[in-house]
Structure 1
Amino acid sequence: MSESLQTTDVTWSNTQYPTVPTVTDSPFIKLQKDYRKLHGYISCIVCIFGLSSNIINMIVLTRKHMIKPVNFILTALAGADFLTMLTYLVYAAYFYIAKEPIWQANHTYAWMCFIMIHNHFIIICHNMSLWFTVYLAVLRYKFVCNNTFGYREYSLKRTIITVTIISNVILVLCIPNFFMYKVIALSDIVDPNVSGYWIVDSDFVKKHIFYKVSIFWFFGVVMKILPCILLTFFICRIIHTMYRSEKQREQLQEQARLSTHGRHRDNIRTTRMLIAVVLICVLTEMPQGIFALISCLDDRFFEDIYSNIGDILDLLVLFNSSVNFILYCSMSRQYRDTFRKLFSFRTAHCHNQLRQINHTR
């Protein structure tokens, strides 16, 4: 299911058994047909890399000397991203590779239940990831804009409490999604001789049309655009403050600059890395929010464009969930050093075990 469309994905929300798409000259429909054949393989590769890299992130960031407020947020972010891709890997492998095309497969009741669980699960995890990123930007903004304030007020305990609150709030906000859909036998809506199951709007949604519209607005627009606006604001403020700080440092005496030169460079590298994390999040999330907003105002846009690029938007979400490992390795010396020490230690440990085994022989 297209997570980018949140709970209103056209593939599964139809109340009738879908048929093979009508041949048309629309470039977006053609794009959807051509890319759909590749989406399963590409997304599976991204998911496998993302699952592995986020496990590494959690291992590295939870080392004793790495436990800091910002790193705890990055650990929570890695956990949310890991869970986001966990069920998507199964979903992509089955519905895009094993059972392509989807509309011609007689799916079992169990797989339709999996789809519903997957959809709710991925919405919860992805929204947690998004708001963890907002919290990360807020924390770095506090540090950059008031260096004397720093992380002292943002202790590890306070960070853990805040992350827990964000997780619980997102979970509560996502409860209305649980009432959106139900699984139904195709024999009840198509033909008694047709086997298989499908997902349709729940009876509650059919009786309350506005409920589904409200869910779409809240998760498709508000929960996408609002955090992106906040992230953009904090990025601009951080960059502006860094630029102004550099100008002020250039006016200081040479001796004063050199006394904190190494520490200052570490702070700059950390800030740039976090800016990159936040910026990629904005670039992958903002288009979805804008498209969803236009779709709310123009039904034709939803049918002609948005519904045909859902797979591509899903890939952007997966990319955002898997790229942080590359950013950490390329922009954080402390992360690289910790990763290198862990890897070299495990490699040396394995070699020692092999030597002992060979020696006993």
Structure 2
Amino acid sequence: MTMGSNQTEPLYCGKGINDFHAGYYVWHGYVSLFVCILGIIANTLNIIVLTRREMRSPTNAILTGLAIADLTVMIDYIPFAFHGNILPSMNYPREKQLTYSWACFVKFHSIFAQTCHTISIWLTVTLAVWRYIAVVFPQKNRLWCGMQTTILTIATAFVVCPLITIPPIYIGFSITPFNEMLDSHGNKLVTSVTDFNTTISSTLVPPEGRNVTLYKVSMSQLARDYPFIMNSNFFIYSVLIKLIPCFALTMLSVRLIAALLEAKRRRKQLTSNSNGMKHIVNGKVVDKPRKNSKTLEKEKQTDRTTKMLLAVLLLFLMTEFPQGILGLLSATLGDPFFEQCYIKLGEVMDILALINSGINFILYCAMSRQFRTTFVLLFRPKFLDKWLPVAQDDDNGRTDMGHDNNGHTQTQVSHV
């Protein structure tokens, strides 16, 4: 369908997406810079609190690895947002923006950020698996999810994920030189992509402009000659990095929610039947056995930990699943969808991923009493100790501590 003599209506995403992209693009650099600064502070605090000796546990080790991966993503994104989004909005000369060194950083950013984000994704999956085992197979938790196994799993994620993400991006994209006609202020007059194997005649440069060599990261010549390379890139990104973890997390989250509801039902039934109830064993009427308060409290702590981690998982699904769908559609529908939809929503996908990387600190503080207590003890000014009470210690001199399956004292993010 034609919209005019020279314009054709987009095949997939229409004017609304274009208008939204144009409006949000101006603000994306500032919004992402703000989110990144807060996220760096939050993840740094996460690492400091979770690595305290009294906080060490398999669950918290995974959360620490997750915070490190998220922290590196945000550190890397700050120069990308500032140079790539903020400077262009300030009319910074294009010949200083699109330099060869900046193109090298953009390619590094595309590889490094994707690798770190992939590590974060698979650590989130590991967190869900560990929680599922703890809830559904508690007798196997010590064997399957001990500290040594957890550290080995985290190290594996940091080694394997780069092997999955680096080759497709490195092969599929390259730094491409191109020519633009710029005025005396460095603004674009006319764009002319040329073959750099030939010499550009000075007669091509209009009197009011300069022919300047700029650089950008674009599809490599190898990927243009062999389209399956880019298709493989999109399938790896959308299916292996996004959709498979999302489906796994969805199933695990459903099972965890079902386990929580079942545990709540059992406790309610136990509470209602425990007072004065009798039952028959071998023909004799005996008191119905009751769980002691310590066992009941331990079950409640397990449920609170599961609820907090479910919040982490559901937030992940809301931010990552749409990106996986868009990547898969780009692989199946080709360049028109990629150019008309995927690129237009690129900044939105970035800011959602950044928010997901930075918001865990808020979840921990809101849902974990032990995290809040440890945080306050670490960062509260000393002069406040005269007026504000310090958390009560147990017999070992530690605060709000549980015990792992090996009988060693440990603390998990498990108290509300």
TM-score scaled to structure 2, two decimals?
0.74
Counterpart for residue 64 of structure 1: 53
Structure 2: which amino acid aligns with 1:128? I
Counterpart for residue 288 of structure 1: 323
Secondary structure at 2:174's aligned position in 1?
Answer: strand
What's the offset of the Cα at 1:258?
Answer: 3.2
Tell me, in whole angstroms, the C-alpha distance in 2 between the residues paired with 1:249 and 1:337. 27
The farther-off stretch of 224-233 and 291-300 is 291-300
Tell me, in whole angstroms, the C-alpha distance in 1 between the residues paired with 2:135 and 2:229. 42
Secondary structure at 2:138's aligned position in 1?
Answer: coil
Over the matched positions of the two proteins, sequence identity in percent amounts to 36
What's the offset of the Cα at 1:190?
Answer: 2.0
Q: How does 1:141-152 map to 2 (within 5 A)?
A: 141-152=132-143
Gaps of 5+ in 2: 1-6, 181-191, 195-199, 201-210, 276-289, 386-416
What's the offset of the Cα at 1:194?
Answer: 2.3
1:38 aligns with 2:27: yes
Structure 2: which amino acid aligns with 1:271? T
Structure 1 or 2: larger helix share? 1
Contact conserved, 2:103 with 2:215, CA < 8 A, in 1? Answer: yes
CA 1:251/1:221 → structure 2, altered by over 3 Å: closer, same or farther? same
Secondary structure at 1:308's aligned position in 2?
Answer: coil
Structure 1: which amino acid aligns with 2:65? A
Counterpart for residue 125 of structure 2: 134
Structure 1: which amino acid aligns with 2:230? K
Counterpart for residue 368 of structure 2: 332
RMSD: 2.5
Secondary structure at 1:256's aligned position in 2?
Answer: coil
Contact conserved, 1:77 with 1:133, CA < 8 A, in 2? Answer: yes
Secondary structure at 1:186's aligned position in 2?
Answer: strand
CA deviation string 1:194-223 (max 9, x = no partner):
232222322322332211111111113332
1:183 aligns with 2:164: no
CA 1:76/1:343 → structure 2, altered by over 3 Å: closer, same or farther? same
CA 1:104/1:302 → structure 2, altered by over 3 Å: closer, same or farther? farther
Structure 1: which amino acid aligns with 2:131? R
Secondary structure at 1:197's aligned position in 2?
Answer: strand
What's the offset of the Cα at 1:277?
Answer: 0.6
What's the offset of the Cα at 1:350?
Answer: 12
Tell me, in whole angstroms, the C-alpha distance in 1 between the residues paired with 2:339 and 2:172. 20
Contact conserved, 2:237 with 2:324, CA < 8 A, in 1? Answer: no
Counterpart for residue 208 of structure 2: none
CA deviation string 1:8-35 (max 9, x = no partner):
xxxxxxxxxxxxx999970100000000
The farther-off stretch of 50-59 and 202-211 is 202-211
Contact conserved, 1:96 with 1:102, CA < 8 A, in 2? Answer: no
Tell me, in whole angstroms, the C-alpha distance in 1 between the residues paired with 2:88 and 2:237. 29
Structure 1 or 2: larger strand share? 2
Gaps of 5+ in 1: 1-20, 352-361
Tell me, in whole angstroms, the C-alpha distance in 2 between the residues paired with 1:102 and 1:206. 33
Q: 1:269 aligns with which of 304, 321, 345?
A: 304
Structure 1: which amino acid aligns with 2:177? A
Aligned length: 329
Tell me, in whole angstroms, the C-alpha distance in 1 between the residues paired with 2:383 and 2:163. 45
Tell me, in whole angstroms, the C-alpha distance in 2 between the residues paired with 1:36 and 1:95. 11
Structure 2: which amino acid aligns with 1:272? K
CA deviation string 1:219-265 (max 9, x = no partner):
13332100000000000001101111222222323542634232222
Tell me, in whole angstroms, the C-alpha distance in 1 between the residues paired with 2:242 and 2:115. 13
Counterpart for residue 114 of structure 1: 105
CA 1:185/1:297 → structure 2, altered by over 3 Å: closer, same or farther? closer
CA 1:27/1:78 → structure 2, altered by over 3 Å: closer, same or farther? same
Counterpart for residue 319 of structure 1: 355
Tell me, in whole angstroms, the C-alpha distance in 2 between the residues paired with 1:261 and 1:58. 30
TM-score scaled to structure 1, two decimals?
0.85
Contact conserved, 2:136 with 2:259, CA < 8 A, in 1? Answer: yes
The farther-off stretch of 171-180 and 33-42 is 171-180
CA 1:294/1:258 → structure 2, altered by over 3 Å: closer, same or farther? same
Contact conserved, 1:112 with 1:197, CA < 8 A, in 2? Answer: yes
| Structure with greater contact order relative to length (CA < 8 Å, sep ≥ 6) | 1
Contact conserved, 1:180 with 1:202, CA < 8 A, in 2? Answer: yes
Tell me, in whole angstroms, the C-alpha distance in 1 between the residues paired with 2:132 and 2:106. 39
Secondary structure at 1:148's aligned position in 2?
Answer: helix
CA 1:350/1:116 → structure 2, altered by over 3 Å: closer, same or farther? farther
1:205 aligns with 2:223: yes
